[in-house]
Chain A
Amino acid sequence: MSFTFTPERRAKLDALILRYPKKQAALLPALRMAEEQAGCVDFDAMEHVAEILDVSPAKVLGVFTFYTHYRRPGTGKHLVQVCATLPCALRGAEAVFDKFAAELGIGQDETTKDGMFTLKKVECLASCGSAVCVQVNDDYHENLTAETVPDLIRKLKESR
């Protein structure tokens, strides 16, 4: 399966590239656009982006794997990212993570069999004022405790 940007996305990317001094500087948004299109970024998409931006595929792989916020192939429908940095940790992030793990039956970087949930610890989500913070896909869920986790899971399961 090979990846190609849709004509609209490609036009959008081409316009975006012009805003940077060098075209390789558009790497991060290009990866984000690939993710938007396919739901995740696979090796084909990385090669396609590399070709457009005139960098080696290895360079794209290096940048892609540096960040945790891109969805890799095999990621579940709901990517649950539990903040593990200090303020959240002080407010019980560890217990929140363990609750997710116990309820979903998966560990760090694992995906449920039904492909619904992937669980991850991540670094600071910049929501320290409302710790514990968990980011599910693009949404923040704040002031969580181990007790409120099952409710959140239920809501996520009900959502489409």
Chain B
Amino acid sequence: MPINFTIDGKQVQGEKGETVLPVALRNNIDVPYFCYHPGLSLSGNCRMCLVRVTPAAPPPPKPGPDGKLPPAPPPPRSMLAISCMTQIADGMTVDTKTPDVLRAREGVMEFELINHPLDCPTCDQAGECFLQDHSYQHGRSHGRFYEERQMKHTKSLGPTISIWGSRCIVCSRCVRFTDEITGTGELCIVNRSDHSVVDVFPGKPLDNALSMCAEDVCPVGALISEDFKFKARVWFMKEQKTLCAGCSVGCNVVAEQVNEEIARLKPRENLAVNDWWMCDAGRLSYKQHALPGRLVEARVDGKAVTRAEAVLAAWQRLSAAGGAVAGLVSLWNTNEEMFLFRRLMKLLSAVAPMGTLEKSHGERKQFKGGFVIEGDRNPNRAGARAILGDVALEVGATAVRKAFEAGTVNALLVVSGAPELAISPEIEAMLARVKTLVVLDVLESSSAAKYAKVRLPATMHWEQDGTFVNVDGRVQRVRPVIQPPGDAAPALELLQEIVNRHPPGGSGVLSGDGVFRQLGAEIEAFRELTYREVGDLGVPARTAAQAVKA
């Protein structure tokens, strides 16, 4: 049974057991807060989310047996209450903007700032700081505190996180995070009252696979990521909503770039995938975009050529093989690229063996709060299953190798967008010996690029549009965060350009969405899907049963 009540005169609805704050936020009613976090237990310590609460009026009295009305019950008493901990009830009235509420918040802000160093000019949180925002909206313009301020420790809490204790408002979000989400419990609040500050036990640093989320949950600049420290002012960064490709979970992230360099990743809320979290390895995976040895120019037989020349050479050599062709595509390529890869292979030969290349598996890890790091360190295995089929995915690479060894294949197309693929010695030997090797890849050090006769520089998922299908069969968008280096171009474009060489020839190159719509017309898992529909949070594939569980 939904519970109906009003906030600022607006009729709102909530479920039994909910508290006022999440209902208000859901209805776009702004209530400031520090310690509340939708993914953590309620603490109610910051007092910032004060609102005025008036319970429903009691029912009018009924006449007693003597026909007389008993005395009317007193009208309900309204009170200031913290909205994060106040259970909702039918007929309740909540006011978030009355003068007494605003005055109370102003008082809370004054307390929060008593010991705050106001070092915003050198603080990494500046620009995305709850203290700054709330101080601007709800604070006083001057302080009245003339006593000596408490200074607290500034120190490293672990390999990834440092604390600036004086900035800490002791909201305990980070402590609850390590207690409830990672289950590692490294953090605690030491001392009492205005001496209290977040700390670790000596010799037991904050060191777990999700540790950098502690910096995300910190509403102020107290916990600072070692990776991002002093790197950029946040208002100079441009945001893009994309995915982490570190494993098959496909955590939703915001990638931020300055001057075409990715400065950091932050997890983006998606309750169907990663909640509010992501692992440290994934968070630091943005560094791949700047790996040394990126492919930046097209080459044919070792000679630098233009992209058009390389595209032409790729088509000529593959088609000259007279159908004795095979193809390998990485599980880091998007659905669109896999689809174009399949189209090109079908054009070259109806029976061309197709296989996949992948990164080796890691350890699957589940945390106390339910967050999972999948062992499959490839972002699009489920997409490959939907587009290329089980056979190509499970035994395709072996089939390609056997066909090559049997002499029925002498031309090979390799498409990869992955930084480090696990290439077996047998596949490596084939790459070294095959007569025609056309490669779309990203790193000079990759085995395929090393032996390529025709080599086209491709992009990583940071530099292109596309979709992945995660381990649960959810179709999600990747978006270009930065421009590709040198002449590198998405395989999405390169593969279409090669296909366009097929007689009678063509010149059209569709966008990611264009190819995705074609994919939707042919492959059941993506039926009638568009980028618009996939949106920021993704949608389940149409045939989840087929696409899932790599």
Contacts and interface: CB of A to CB of B under 8 A. Distances in A.
Interface of A: 43, 46-47, 55-62, 65-68
Interface string B403-423: 000000000000000000000
Interface string B184-227: 11111111100010011111100000000000000000000000
Contact of A58 (B191, B192, B196, B201): B201
B201 A43 contact: yes
Contacts of A67: 192
A66 B204 contact: no
The number of chain B residues touching the other chain, given as a range, is 10 to 19
Given A66-B191, A66-B192, A61 B199 contact: yes
Q: Do most interface residues of chain A lie in helix, strand or loop, or is the interface mixed?
A: helix
The 3 closest A-B pairs by CB, nearest first: A56-B185, A62-B188, A58-B188
B183 to A, nearest CB: 9
A56 B184 contact: yes
Contacts of A60: 201
A113 B17 CA distance: 58
Contacts of B178: 58
Contacts of B190: 61-62, 65-66
A61 B191 contact: no
B201 A55 contact: no
Contacts of A55: 185
Given A55-B185, A58-B199, A66-B192, 19 more contacts: A43-B202, A46-B201, A56-B179, A56-B184, A57-B204, A58-B178, A58-B187, A58-B188, A58-B201, A58-B204, A62-B175, A62-B189, A62-B190, A65-B190, A65-B191, A65-B192, A66-B190, A67-B192, A68-B192
Contacts of A58: 178, 185-188, 199-201, 204
A56 B200 CA distance: 10
Nearest to A58: B188
A66 B196 CA distance: 8
A68 B184 CA distance: 27
A43 B200 CA distance: 12
B188 A61 contact: yes
A46 B202 CA distance: 11
Interface in B321-351: none
22 contacts: A43-B201, A47-B201, A56-B179, A56-B186, A56-B188, A56-B204, A58-B185, A58-B186, A58-B188, A58-B199, A59-B179, A59-B185, A59-B188, A60-B201, A61-B188, A61-B201, A62-B190, A65-B190, A65-B191, A66-B191, A67-B192, A68-B192
Contacts of A47: 201
A56 B203 CA distance: 13
A65 B179 CA distance: 18
Contacts, number: 45
A47 B203 CA distance: 11
Nearest to B187: A58
A57 B191 CA distance: 15
B358 to A, nearest CB: 38
A62 B190 CA distance: 5
A66 B192 CA distance: 5
A126 B54 CA distance: 38
Nearest to B172: A62
Nearest to A56: B185
A61 B202 CA distance: 9
B488 to A, nearest CB: 47
Contacts of B201: 43, 46-47, 56-58, 60-61
Nearest to B202: A43
Contacts of B175: 62
B163 to A, nearest CB: 13
Contacts of B185: 55-56, 58-59
A46 B196 CA distance: 19
A146 B196 CA distance: 32
A26 to B, nearest CB: 18
A55 B186 CA distance: 10
Interface in B117-172: none
Greatest chain A CB density within 10 A among B175, B178, B190 is at B190
Contacts of B203: 43
Contacts of A65: 190-192
Contacts of A56: 179, 184-186, 188, 201, 204
A7 to B, nearest CB: 26
Nearest to A46: B201
Contacts of A46: 201
Contacts of B184: 56
A65 B199 CA distance: 11
A57 B188 CA distance: 9
A49 to B, nearest CB: 12
B199 to A, nearest CB: 7
Nearest to B197: A65
Contacts of A66: 190-192, 196
Nearest to B190: A65
Contacts of B189: 62
A57 B196 CA distance: 17
A66 B190 CA distance: 6
Nearest to A68: B192
A66 B187 CA distance: 14
B30 to A, nearest CB: 33
A48 B525 CA distance: 55
B151 to A, nearest CB: 16
B200 to A, nearest CB: 6
Interface in B486-538: none
A40 B114 CA distance: 34
A89 to B, nearest CB: 17
A141 to B, nearest CB: 25
Nearest to A50: B201
B210 to A, nearest CB: 15
Nearest to A66: B192
Contacts of B186: 56, 58
Nearest to A47: B201
Contacts of B179: 56, 59
A138 B121 CA distance: 50
Contacts of A59: 179, 185, 188
B413 to A, nearest CB: 53
A30 to B, nearest CB: 16
B526 to A, nearest CB: 46
